[in-house]
Amino acid sequence: MQQAQYQLIIVGGGPAGLTAGLYAARGRLKVLLVEKGATGGQVLVTDWVDNYPGFIEGISGFDLVDKMTAHADRFGLEKKYATITALNLTGEIKSVLLESGEILTAKTIILCTGARPRKLDIPGEYEFSGRGVSYCATCDGPFYRNQEIAVVGGGNTAIQDALHLTKFASKVTVIHRRSELRATKILQEKAFCNQKIDFLWNTQVLEVRGNKNGVDSLLLRHHNGDESVLNVTGLFVLIGVTPNNELLPLDQLRADEGGFVITDGEMATSIPGVFAAGDIRSKQSRQIINAAGEGAVAELSVEHYLGNQAPDTPLNCSE
């Protein structure tokens, strides 16, 4: 029978993938982490992380990713930066096809493909994307110095990023479709106390308008059906996430209505030998700490699945 090159391939290098990789490298598995861009996933573009245990004063998303990557590297995690074009998850040996044509094989896979920002799907949104419409406050905030801008959304991302954007913008209007925020109370308190933040409740953005220079206004609809125009030069769309599941065989892999992968408590998916961790999973809370914890659980499940086979790597007495 064909031999797999790896005991484990981890698909995706965000906090879930990096933690699974750290555990697998320490567990002396023959493991490879495949990531198409830089490691870190969405955390890489998170301005400030204030709730990751151990970082009492908080830490920037960039620095947290840097530390997580360095931690996995310390145990020799093998990484490959490449784009995956197909995954074959069935059978005892799974395969990962790369854009280059290379095929990688493994006995087990942990899916850590994460999620990406959801879109409003309204007129003008795509036309002005990168010219006033943004999905990343950390990346684009500094472009809006002394300008009036808007944020749409009422979750943790919207409120945390609205607070961040007040460092640059002269005014930030948070537009929310309901009369109550979903964000955690401490963020709500900070936002309500911030003089630069205004709220428009029960309001939807119908259209992004602008000219050759970029966005100049938004067409809004209020609860009572009235429409109005808000003059802003930037709109940050921060309304949640969509799963990065395009590569996944959703006819074979159980997923919820939103396309997030369903696992059991041990992170096992409906396909034997395939596990999932982090934002790609179907779940309530998408926190960095969850992703990291799930990465650890998934890797321990992989070890269990592999039946504690003898390590492929030689004994290392230097650590």
Q: Which of residues 192-231 bind ligand NAP (CB under 6 A)?
A: none
Residue with tokens 């492929």: 312
Q: Under the criterion CB under 6 A, does residue 239 sit at the interface with ligand NAP?
A: yes
Q: Under the criterion CB under 6 A, does residue 157 sit at the interface with ligand NAP?
A: yes
Q: Which region, judged by CB under 6 A, interacts with ligand NAP, from 27-35, 63-71, 133-141, 237-245?
A: 237-245
Q: Which of residues 35-64 bind ligand NAP (CB under 6 A)?
A: 51
Q: Which region, judged by CB under 6 A, interacts with ligand NAP, from 9-17, 26-34, 138-146, 238-246?
A: 238-246
Of the candidate residues 15, 21, 153, 273, the single one contacting ligand NAP (CB under 6 A): 153
DSSP the chain: -PPPSEEEEEE--SHHHHHHHHHHHHTT--EEEEESS-TTGGGGG-SEE--STT-TT-EEHHHHHHHHHHHHHHTT-EEEE--EEEEE--SSSEEEEETTS-EEEEEEEEE---EEE-----TTTTTTBTTTEES-HHHHGGGGTT-EEEEE--SHHHHHHHHHHTTT-SEEEEE-SSSS--S-HHHHHHHHH-TTEEEE-SEEEEEEEEETTEEEEEEEEETTS-EEEEE-SEEEE---EEE--TTS-TTTS-B-TTSPBP--TT-B-SSTTEEE-STTB--S---HHHHHHHHHHHHHHHHHHTTSPPPSSPP----
Q: How many residues bind ligand NAP (CB under 6 A)?
A: 20
| Residue 216 beta carbon to ligand NAP: minimum distance, rounded to whole angstroms | 21
Catalytic residue among 47, 112, 140, 161: 140
- Rounded Cα distance between 8 and 85, Å, is 18
**Is 193 a known active-site residue?**
no
Q: Which of 252, 282, 258 is nearest to 270 (CA)?
A: 252
Q: Which region, judged by CB under 6 A, interacts with ligand NAP, from 68-76, 163-171, 234-242, 244-252?
A: 234-242
Q: Which region, judged by CB under 6 A, interacts with ligand NAP, from 15-23, 152-160, 193-201, 266-274?
A: 152-160
Which residue number, 51 or 170, has a Cβ lying nearer to ligand NAP? 51
Q: Which region, judged by CB under 6 A, interacts with ligand NAP, from 19-27, 32-40, 283-291, 292-300?
A: 283-291
* Half-sphere exposure (Cβ direction) of 22: Cα atoms closer than 13 Å: 21
Q: Which amino acid is at 145?
A: R
Which residue number, 256 or 312, has a Cβ lying nearer to ligand NAP? 256
Residue nearest to ligand NAP (CB): 155
- Rounded Cα distance between 295 and 173, Å, is 37
Q: Tokens in use for 315?
A: 């004994």
Q: Tokens in use for 232?
A: 């802003």
Q: Under the criterion CB under 6 A, does residue 174 sit at the interface with ligand NAP?
A: no
Catalytic residue among 139, 256, 264, 312: 139
Q: Under the criterion CB under 6 A, does residue 173 sit at the interface with ligand NAP?
A: no
Q: Under the criterion CB under 6 A, does residue 156 sit at the interface with ligand NAP?
A: yes
Catalytic residue among 112, 136, 161, 279: 136
Q: Which amino acid is at 155?
A: G
Q: Under the criterion CB under 6 A, does residue 164 sit at the interface with ligand NAP?
A: no
**Is 140 a known active-site residue?**
yes
| Residue 236 beta carbon to ligand NAP: minimum distance, rounded to whole angstroms | 11
Q: Under the criterion CB under 6 A, does residue 155 sit at the interface with ligand NAP?
A: yes
| Residue 238 beta carbon to ligand NAP: minimum distance, rounded to whole angstroms | 6
What residues line the site for ligand NAP (CB under 6 A)? 51, 118, 120, 152-158, 160, 177-178, 182, 239-241, 285-287
Known catalytic residues are 136, 139-140
